[in-house]
Amino acid sequence: MHELSLALEVIGLAQREAGKNGVSAIQEILIEVGDLSGVEADSFQWGLEMLVKGTILEDAVVNIIRTPGKGKCIGCNIEFEMKTRLDVCPECQCFPSGITGGKEFRVVSMLAE
C-alpha cells in the first residue's frame, strides 16, 4: 500500500514548508488526486489521518479533490472521460492516444497560522 508512503511524504512536505516560513501549525491542506494517478484516494486519506498525530498537520482540515480521468481518442480526436486506463472512446471505441487528465497527485495549497 503505497498510499502510506505518500501520506508520509505529504507530512514531510508540510513540515519542511512550515519550517521555512516559521509556521507553527497548518490549519488546512488541499490535495489533488487524479482518478488515473494510481493512488486510492480513500486509502490515502485514511493513512494520512492515521499518521498526522503529533505532526504539524494534526489539527488540519484535509480536503481532497478528485479529478476525473480524461483521454484523447486516437480515432476521432475527441476528449472523453475515463474511469480506468483501459477505457475506450464512447464514439468510435478506439483507445486514447494519450491521457490528458486525472494523473495528478499534488499538494495544491496549505493554509497556516
Give the three cell numbers for residue 106: 499534488
Q: Is 59 helix (H, G, I), strand (E, B) or coil?
A: coil
Q: Give the confidence band of 103 by pLDDT, cuts at 50, 70, 90.
A: very high
pLDDT digits (tens, 9 = 90+) for 4-41: 999 999 999 999 999 999 998 999 999 999 999 999 99
Runs of H (alpha helix) within 1-113: 3-20, 41-51
Go through the chain and tell me how many residues it has: 113
Domain 3-112 adopts which CATH fold?
hypothetical protein PF0899 fold (3.30.2320)
Cβ neighbour number for residue 49 with a 10 Å cutoff: 12
Per-domain residue ranges of the chain: 3-112
